[in-house]
Structure 1
Amino acid sequence: MTTTMTDRQITAPHAVLLEEPRPGVPQTSEMIRGERFRILEERDGWLRAENAFDGHVGWLPPGTAHAEPVAPTHRVRALRADLHPAPTHKAPPVGTLSFGSLVRLDGRTENGWAATDDGLWLFAGWLEPVEAPAAPDHVATALRFLETPYVWGGRSSFGIDCSGLVLTAMAAAGTVSHHSSGLQRKDERLGVWLSDHGRDVAYQRGDIVFFPGHVGIMLDATRLLHATVFTMSVVVEPLAEVAKRAEINGVRRPAPGSTAGA
């Protein structure tokens, strides 16, 4: 066992963070292409990593692709973006990146395609500069993940869980929280606290509603958008139906501006 504090960067399209350094244990979170992490410990090829994005700590399996950090130039704004070996849609994709992935372009462009620093090509319309303004409507961002498969510990368009959906949507609006519904419930950055039980709330679009071990975002005054094991996907359901399965134990309202478009 060795202990280091090395900064690295994920070069795989996405990478799981596991609870313990061995196969078959629960995934606790996920990192996506371009995110930086610190190696806190190494054990038989397993890396205990702290994600610089949200501070989450978990174990990266051996063989996870990573490299020395480079400054990204662009972010994937599409839900998913295929990597091609040539600047044409006819070249079969060799990989796929999730929403929010970070890439460094090498300056080459051709027919609406842009080259990455590892020699692959992305459709330029899927990208935005890293300095692009935040997307203020976290509800609109979360809606893009409708029907995405539910994956425990997921936070990408390949698979996502309830707190991963809230984390991703709010981060796109400029507020990075935690990949944990329990920690999100306590996080004042996610908005003002409205209620401990939700019974006295006049719900609005964008409200974040908490349950024991679960969280979702109000689409409007009556419907909840959430990633749920009940359907194993991201769905919209009447809040009243969800509350029959689990009791509401908190409501936060993000600051005005993160619900633009309501």
Structure 2
Amino acid sequence: MTDAEAPMILQIKSPQAVLLERPAHGVPQTSEMLFGESFTLLDRDGDWLKAENRTDGHVGWLPPGTRTGTPVAPTHRVAGRTANLHPAPTHKAVPTAALSFASLVTVAEQADNGWVRLDNGSWIFGKRLEPVASPLDRAPVDTALRFLDTPYVWGGRSGFGIDCSGLVQVALGAAGIVTHHSSGMQRNDDRLGPMLSTDGQGVDYRRGDIVFFPGHVGIMLDGATLLHATVFTMSVVTEPLADVAARAEGITGVRRPLL
């Protein structure tokens, strides 16, 4: 491949960016990208950009108005469920935007009072960040618990809204396991660990097991409780596994991540 044929790599500069299934308003969101994530530009349709997220390989269309730019190497990522951006290094400055958990940022300056200035000029409290060189959490359940009560959003994978496969993806991603943003594809992904059962029978459930249902997925909080993002409550909740299995009409698989 010549330099002229090399794909263009861009970076998300908006706090979050939806990925739609087609280049049109009003169509379903299939995933989203976070501030600082990079993507390969696959195609254009007017001001619409067809993007392949370089984090998980998900492909979708970015709407007009999504802020993008030349990639800058991140130094930190957001460690809390969300973190506010401020115009000055003080909590009294009215926030201008918010970033989600795992958003990637580049720190340009550190103030004496614990605040840091990003390369885009915004300030964020330093304790809301973690260096990109270290894992956010090695325990997926601990990560998933940060999202309790987060609203359910189809195609979401952020602290502002998340769906079932997005929750599992984010939880595993913080532990270094990259997977798809699709419950069906996650079920067939050996990166999530061995398949213990294809129907849930005979499993001694443990904290962290990934349980699949028809069109749904969740992560075990303990031997009997599922943590998941569900349209039943339109939020991230914990429920007895037996109740979810009955409502979903069965379990279709159980995987145990190897950490």
TM-score by length of 2: 0.96
Equivalent position of 2:137 in the other structure: 135
1:249 corresponds, among 245, 252, 258, to 252
Gaps of 5+ in 1: 258-262
What's the CA shift for 1:199?
A: 1.6
2:234 corresponds, among 214, 227, 232, to 232
What's the CA shift for 1:107?
A: 2.4
Partner secondary structure for residue 111 of structure 2: strand
* Residues 10-89 of structure 1: pairs in structure 2 closer than 5 A: 10-89=12-91
Partners of 2:58 and 2:173 lie apart in 1 by 14
Partner secondary structure for residue 131 of structure 1: coil
2:99 corresponds, among 97, 100, 108, to 97
Equivalent position of 1:194 in the other structure: 196
1:157 corresponds, among 156, 159, 164, to 159
Partners of 2:197 and 2:110 lie apart in 1 by 53
Is the contact made by 2:79 and 2:136 (CA closer than 8 Å) also made in structure 1?
no
TM-superposition CA deviations, 1:95-135 (whole Å, max 9, x none): 00000001111123231100001111000000111101351
**Which amino acid counterpart does residue 138 of structure 2 have in structure 1?**
P
Is the contact made by 2:20 and 2:62 (CA closer than 8 Å) also made in structure 1?
yes
Task: Give yes or no for the alignment of 1:205 onto 2:192.
Answer: no
Partners of 1:134 and 1:241 lie apart in 2 by 31
**Which amino acid counterpart does residue 252 of structure 2 have in structure 1?**
N
Equivalent position of 1:219 in the other structure: 221
Equivalent position of 1:184 in the other structure: 186
Partner secondary structure for residue 87 of structure 1: coil
Partner secondary structure for residue 171 of structure 2: helix
Partners of 1:63 and 1:254 lie apart in 2 by 38
Gaps of 5+ in 2: none
Equivalent position of 1:260 in the other structure: none
TM-score by length of 1: 0.95
Partner secondary structure for residue 52 of structure 2: strand
Partners of 2:203 and 2:75 lie apart in 1 by 42
Is the contact made by 1:217 and 1:224 (CA closer than 8 Å) also made in structure 2?
yes
Q: CA RMSD in A?
A: 1.1
Is the contact made by 1:4 and 1:41 (CA closer than 8 Å) also made in structure 2?
no
Is the contact made by 2:21 and 2:61 (CA closer than 8 Å) also made in structure 1?
yes
**Which amino acid counterpart does residue 248 of structure 1 have in structure 2?**
I
Equivalent position of 2:172 in the other structure: 170
Partners of 2:79 and 2:110 lie apart in 1 by 20
Partners of 1:80 and 1:44 lie apart in 2 by 32
Partners of 2:114 and 2:143 lie apart in 1 by 25
Is the contact made by 1:86 and 1:120 (CA closer than 8 Å) also made in structure 2?
yes
**Which amino acid counterpart does residue 254 of structure 1 have in structure 2?**
P
What's the CA shift for 1:91?
A: 0.3
